[in-house]
Amino acid sequence: MTRRHLAAIIGSGNIGTDLMTKLRRSTVLDIAAMAGIDPASDGLARASALDVAVTAGGVDGLLELDAFNDVEVVFDATSASAHHVNDAALARSGKRVVDLTPAAIGPFVVPAVNMSRVAGHRNLNMVTCGGQATIPVVAAMAGVTEVHYAEIVASISSRSAGPGTRANIDEFTSTTARAIETVGGAARGKAIIVLNPAEPPMLMRDTVAALVSATDEDAVESAVTAMVADVARYVPGYRLAQRVRISPVPQGDPRRRLAGVAGDGDLTQVTVFLEVEGAADYLPAYAGNLDIMTAAAVRVGERLVTMTPEPVR
C-alpha cells in the first residue's frame, strides 16, 4: 500500500473534527496530529482515541509534538484572528498551510477552478463556504462569456452557524465578493449570507445571479452543468436544485446599471440554484456550509502533496 502523506489540524471544534474524519478516509492524506486549546474538547478526545498525537497547547504545542516533524500540510480550522498568529508560528517550519478561516493571508483557492495556479504558495485560503459553492459556477460562465456582475446569496441553517461564523459575517461578505472577482472572473461581485431559523433545519442553498454578455445559451448551461459535476466529485452532496435559468435583460432595466452596460448592448441574466447536503461525517447533513469547506480543504491538501505546481509569479 502506498504511504499516505501526513497532515495536522489546528482547531478541535466542529470543523476540525469533521475534517479529521474526512482525512482518515482519504487515500492520499492521513492525520498525524491535532492541536486545540480546550483539553476537554470532543475533537481532541476523538483524535486521541484514534492514536492521533494531540495537544491542548495550540500552535505552540503542535510545534513541540514529535509527530509534527513528519507532517507535510497543516489545516487551520480556528478563526481569522488566530490564523495570523498560527501562520506566523508555522512559517518558521516551512510547512504548507490550508487556511479554512477568513484571514486570507495567502491567495484564494477553489479546487475546481484555480488549484494549479496557486499550488506553489505556502499558505492557501479556502475563501468561505459560499465562495466554495458559488465561485465555480461564476468561473464556468466566465469561461464562455463576459461576466459583468455576479451576485451570490448563501442561505444556511441558523443551527449550522456557530459563534465563529456569526463573528465573521462581515469578513464573509467582503472576502467572498473579492474572490468572485479574482477567482471567478466577474468584473464585479457581491455576496449575501442568510441565516435561516427554519425547523427542521434547511440544507444549504446558494443562488448565483449573473449578468453576462449575450452568448450561446446552451454553451452557458453546459459549462455550468459540467462544473457542478466537477465539484460534486469532492463534495458529493453538491448539486443543481433546478435547471439553469437564462433570460434577456431589456433596455431600460435597472440591472443594466449593475452590469455597467448602457445603451442597447445585449445583456443576459443567468440564474443558478444550488443545494449542498453534508456527508454527515461528524456534522449533521443540513450543515452543508461546513461540509463543503472541509471536503474542499481535503481536496486542496491532497493536490498540494501530489501535484507539481506552476511557478509562483
DSSP E strands: which ranges in 139-260? 147-157, 189-196, 204-213, 238-240, 245-248
Confidence band of 299 (pLDDT split at 50, 70, 90): very high
pLDDT tens per residue, range 164-209: 788 878 888 999 999 999 999 999 999 999 999 999 999 999 999 9
| pLDDT in the model for residue 167 | 80
pLDDT score of 1 more than 60: no
The Cα 307–Cα 113 span in angstroms is 15
Say if residue 299 is in the same domain as residue 277. Answer: no
Say if residue 42 is in the same domain as residue 85. Answer: yes
CATH number of the domain residue 69 falls in: 3.40.50.720
pLDDT score of 58 more than 70: yes
Is 41 assigned a ligand-binding role in the annotation? Answer: no
**311 lies in some domain:** no
Is 16 assigned a ligand-binding role in the annotation? Answer: no
Q: Please identify which of the residues 129, 138, 235, 267 carries the catalytic annotation.
A: 129
pLDDT score of 21 more than 70: yes
**134 lies in some domain:** yes
**87 lies in some domain:** yes
Say if residue 100 is in the same domain as residue 135. Answer: no
Say if residue 135 is in the same domain as residue 247. Answer: yes
Is 167 assigned a ligand-binding role in the annotation? Answer: yes
**253 lies in some domain:** yes
Query: How many domains does the chain divide into?
Result: 2
Confidence band of 310 (pLDDT split at 50, 70, 90): low
**312 lies in some domain:** no
Place of cell 440544507: 203
Say if residue 236 is in the same domain as residue 146. Answer: yes
Say if residue 193 is in the same domain as residue 270. Answer: yes
Say if residue 155 is in the same domain as residue 182. Answer: yes
Mean pLDDT for the chain overall: 94
Confidence band of 214 (pLDDT split at 50, 70, 90): confident
CATH number of the domain residue 193 falls in: 3.30.360.10
| pLDDT in the model for residue 162 | 82
Is 57 assigned a ligand-binding role in the annotation? Answer: no
pLDDT tens per residue, range 89-101: 999 999 999 999 9
Domain around 105: 5-126+293-306
Say if residue 111 is in the same domain as residue 210. Answer: no
Say if residue 22 is in the same domain as residue 114. Answer: yes
The Cα 110–Cα 284 span in angstroms is 23
Say if residue 206 is in the same domain as residue 274. Answer: yes
DSSP-assigned letters across all residues of 183-213: TT--SSEEEEEEEE--SSPPPEEEEEEEEEE
**288 lies in some domain:** no
**200 lies in some domain:** yes
Is 163 assigned a ligand-binding role in the annotation? Answer: yes
Is 162 assigned a ligand-binding role in the annotation? Answer: yes
| pLDDT in the model for residue 288 | 97
pLDDT score of 312 more than 60: no
pLDDT score of 311 more than 60: no
**11 lies in some domain:** yes
Q: Is 311 a catalytic residue?
A: no
| pLDDT in the model for residue 226 | 98
The phi and psi torsions of 48 (rounded to 5 degrees) equal -60, -40
Say if residue 23 is in the same domain as residue 47. Answer: yes
The Cα 11–Cα 34 span in angstroms is 7
The Cα 5–Cα 45 span in angstroms is 23
pLDDT tens per residue, range 99-146: 999 889 999 999 999 999 999 999 999 999 999 999 999 999 999 999
Is 185 assigned a ligand-binding role in the annotation? Answer: no
| pLDDT in the model for residue 264 | 66
Q: What is the mean pLDDT of residues 236-248?
A: 97
| pLDDT in the model for residue 56 | 98
Say if residue 256 is in the same domain as residue 156. Answer: yes
